[in-house]
A and B are shown apart, each in its own frame.
Chain A
Amino acid sequence: MEKLKYSSFLKLLCYLLIPIVTIILILSMADVFITAEYGEFNSQQDAIKTYNFGEEYLYNIISEVRYIKSNQERILEDYTQYSKITDNSYQNSIYYKPLINSTSSIYDYIEFIIIDEETGILYTNIRTEEYQKEINEITNNETFWTYEDGNIKTNIEAINQENAKYIIASYSTNYLEGMKIYTRFDDNSYTYSNSYFIQQAVYNMFKTNQNLPAYLIPITSISLIVMVIYLIWALGHEKDKKEIQLNGVDKIPYEILSVIVFFVIGMLISLGVASIETQVINQKMLISLLLLSYLGSYASFAAWVTTTIKRIKAKEFLHSFLIYKICKWFVVKIKTLVERLLDKEDNTKNIAIVYWGFVIISCIIAMIFNSFLGTIILLAFWFWVFHEIMQYNKKLNKINLALKEIYEGHSDIDLDEEELKGVLKSMAKYINDIAGGFTNAIEQSLKSERLKTELITNVSHDIKTPLTSIINYVDLLKQEDIKDEKIKQYIDILNQKSLRLKKLIEDLVEASKVSSGNVKLNIETINLKELLQQTIGEFEDKFEKKELIIDVNLPQEDIKIQADNRYMYRIIENLFSNITKYAADKTRVYIDLTKQNNEIKLEIKNISKDRLNISADELMQRFVRGDKSRYTEGSGLGLSIAKSLTELQGGRFNIQIDGDLFKVIIKW
């Protein structure tokens, strides 16, 4: 299939075959139609013997007689038409009109003698010595026709007595009254210009291949259709080239090419017609001229159709009109002018110029063209202006959207500056720069956060190794049998502090990860009520040790939230662990979980054992704790971690301090 498409040989073959096949088709059709139209040619090879010929012959005679009758006075006076001659054998006047300067086609091939019995005047186009003798001789002629006292003598069968009467009856017959008509057919002057001859010539031409069978018509028509469809499909495609290939001819403006092509075709057809009508040429020459005319027309037409198809296929048809190019040139000129005017940073003045320019152009269009055309052109022009305004507005909206995105905190904006012009372009550039700055800043800060986390993690690994030895050897020391109470006390402190160091390092790593968002959340539906029950169970003995009274108020139904269950546990664990560390002994701890209007609220309240001379905000910041508690266990990162984790999971974390009352509120 692809091969077929690219074969130039096949295309050439089609071009060559089409005229031949067309000729065969025309000839076969002509065979059928000519036979139907001029069937008698078949039986009567000689045109002279046909009815058509007879009718034309008779028509010419009657016309001449009519002319003579109605112009008798003019003829007698006007010697330019008929000249009076004398002949001794004929006693009355003779008016002779030579064959040349003829006004009627009768002079082309009929020699006649018409006698008006009323006046006794003889009209003729035969120059002879004795007319009486000539009249007698006419009937001896090869082809003749005479009319005497209503009687017809002829050897042309088509206009014998009966036929002639019928034909004469169809004209106004009173002209023939009192007329004697003697005519003979002049074979030599029967010329090519005679319409009858043309019929015969056409007949002869198309009858040359009389044996063309009728089935050639469907065969040739189908093959023609196939070839044309193939050409339409394959034209312009060349191997290894995706696009339609256009050559020099296809670049010529379409209307110019069309005018030239149809001028040439017109000339060639005229040549053909003229060659048929010209008297001088013989049949052989006629055929070659006709062929030239036909093939030339075909070649021009084929070239025109080919380029039309290719242009349409290449979607270049409209573009290849000169008028289109001119219009486009004007539009582009106006557009660039307008754009240049609007390009300025401060374009207020120029907008006025452009606006009034449009008004003036509209006025000019209205004045130049008539009302209907003018209206259409104006509407088209205004539509174009409308279209441009809409396009401009669309771009403006895009920029507005980009601004909105930045306003909402998105920084991944990339406006295409190339597709914008003028003020819009500079706007887009500024927006892109602002967005780029944001993105950079965010990336920078993310990167530095990540680096910080990495650094802390790596350092923590390095610290952990010696810490392992410290903890282990302190533990080994503890197991030694030491009598000195002082040494025992020192070892206890070492043990406590080394374990605290361990906890501090672990919390530090976690806090840095959580606050930089460097954790992977595994979000699922969890039951906050269940989680609280579980965590309370975990801390039950620790609470008991401090004799804390836990007042839990959980709702009857499950409280479902979307969260990472391990990090959720970390939040509650941190809060509970703070309670075990900082709540005053034997006090009440309130844990309330409620759900109201889709808002889930967890409130944990306890009484601090130390005075809280610190703000809630400071408490939540890393490494900040109530001053006194710095000397107890814990790292002080617990609240910070809990807050970061809550926010990472879409909640809000709040601390309220009221005297000794310490309150944590988490909301979803």
Chain B
Amino acid sequence: MYNILVVDDDREIVKAIEIYLSKEGYNILKAYDGEEALKQLTENEVHLVILDVMMPNKDGLETLEEIRKTKTLPVIMLSAKSEDYDKIAGLNIGADDYVTKPFNPLELIARVNSCIRRYVNFGSLNNKKEETNILKSGNLIVNDDMKKVEVDGKEIKLTATEYNILKFLLKNKGKVFSISQIYENVWNEESYGAENIIAVHIRHIREKIEINPKEPKYLKVIWGIGYKIENLD
């Protein structure tokens, strides 16, 4: 039973989140401003915080700063501000994830699950490093011996083609490859113009390994240039 602290000055939103996450089996603690949240954190054992940015008394960013002084637990920022610089500011202060309002409940749940898995299984993830033929970036792990793909400790089912593309990109993580380069490397033959299918495969991979395929964390689309696996290590 993991404890999740939900902080938002809008009580209805807190309530809604409570309903969703309770169904997932989490125990919910509630706070309606930054001060209260910090108090809750000292009084209870908390495994994850969902933190609104715009709040009275102490806003989300200030609260996050306070939390980070003593704690390493995962924090998901929740905000109506969707500008890039708002997200960057939150992530820079030490947020683990950023969800914009209005949010898709399923996405929020997926992100919470992912964060919790990462936080709780941190030690066991490290052990896997010792195995051979492991390709990884952050919490995306490809075990080539077992042909298994795992994200945040959860196994993902990929088709053979998708697996090959992912393996190739993960092997060269951080590098950008155009569609024809991917085709030539994965199929080992000259591209002849009918490689449009690659873009479709990659979308499928994204839909499977990413929580929000439109804002991918691992498999990034560099529009007009190519694709890459973000190097998160």
Contact = CB atoms under 8 A, between A and B. Distances in A.
Interface string B1-35: 00000000010110011011000000000000000
B12 A568 contact: no
Contact of B16 (A473, A506, A533, A563): A473
Contacts of B81: 461
B223 A537 contact: no
Contact of B223 (A469, A473, A568): A568
B102 A569 contact: no
A205 B197 CA distance: 120
Interface string A549-579: 0001010100000010110110000000000
A468 interface: yes
Contacts of B197: 537
A475 B224 contact: no
Nearest to A531: B224
A433 interface: no
A530 B193 CA distance: 11
A530 B224 contact: yes
- Contact-size category for B: 35 or more
A554 B192 CA distance: 12
B80 A530 contact: no
Find the residue from B82, B193, B197 having the highest chain A CB count within 10 A: B82
A464 interface: yes
Contact of B101 (A465, A530, A534): A465
B199 A569 contact: no
A563 B224 contact: yes
A465 B199 contact: no
Interface in B169-224: 178-179, 193, 195-203, 221-224
A537 B200 contact: yes
A472 B19 CA distance: 10
A169 interface: no
B94 interface: no
Interface residues of A, number: 41
A469 B10 contact: yes
Nearest to B195: A533
Interface in A462-506: 462, 464-473, 475-476, 498, 502, 506
B12 A528 contact: no
Nearest to B81: A461
B223 A565 contact: yes
Interface in A510-537: 526-528, 530-531, 533-537
A568 B13 contact: no
A554 B199 CA distance: 15
B224 A468 contact: no
Contacts of B178: 527, 530
A121 to B, nearest CB: 135
A417 interface: no
B199 A536 contact: yes
B153 interface: no
A476 B16 CA distance: 8
A342 to B, nearest CB: 58
Nearest to A569: B223
B160 interface: no
Contacts of B16: 469, 472-473, 476
B146 interface: no
B56 interface: no
A530 B202 contact: no
A538 B199 contact: yes
A540 interface: yes
Contacts of B199: 533-538, 540
A359 B105 CA distance: 94
Contacts of A540: 199-200, 203
Interface string A598-620: 00000000000000000000000
A552 B105 CA distance: 37
B158 interface: no
Interface string A449-465: 00000000100111011
Interface in A256-312: none
B122 interface: no
A537 B102 CA distance: 27
A467 B195 CA distance: 42
30 contacts: A461-B54, A462-B80, A464-B101, A465-B54, A467-B102, A468-B80, A468-B102, A472-B105, A475-B105, A476-B19, A498-B102, A502-B102, A506-B82, A526-B223, A526-B225, A530-B179, A530-B226, A531-B223, A534-B199, A534-B223, A535-B199, A537-B196, A537-B200, A540-B203, A541-B200, A552-B196, A565-B222, A566-B223, A569-B221, A569-B223
Q: Which 5 A-B pairs have the closest CB atoms?
A: A537-B199, A526-B224, A531-B224, A569-B223, A464-B80
Interface of B: 10, 12-13, 16-17, 19-20, 54, 80-83, 101-103, 105, 178-179, 193, 195-203, 221-227
Interface of A: 457, 460-462, 464-473, 475-476, 498, 502, 506, 509, 526-528, 530-531, 533-538, 540-541, 552, 554, 556, 563, 565-566, 568-569
Given A534-B179, A568-B224, 14 more contacts: A464-B80, A467-B102, A468-B102, A468-B103, A471-B102, A472-B16, A475-B105, A476-B16, A527-B224, A533-B196, A534-B227, A537-B196, A556-B193, A565-B224
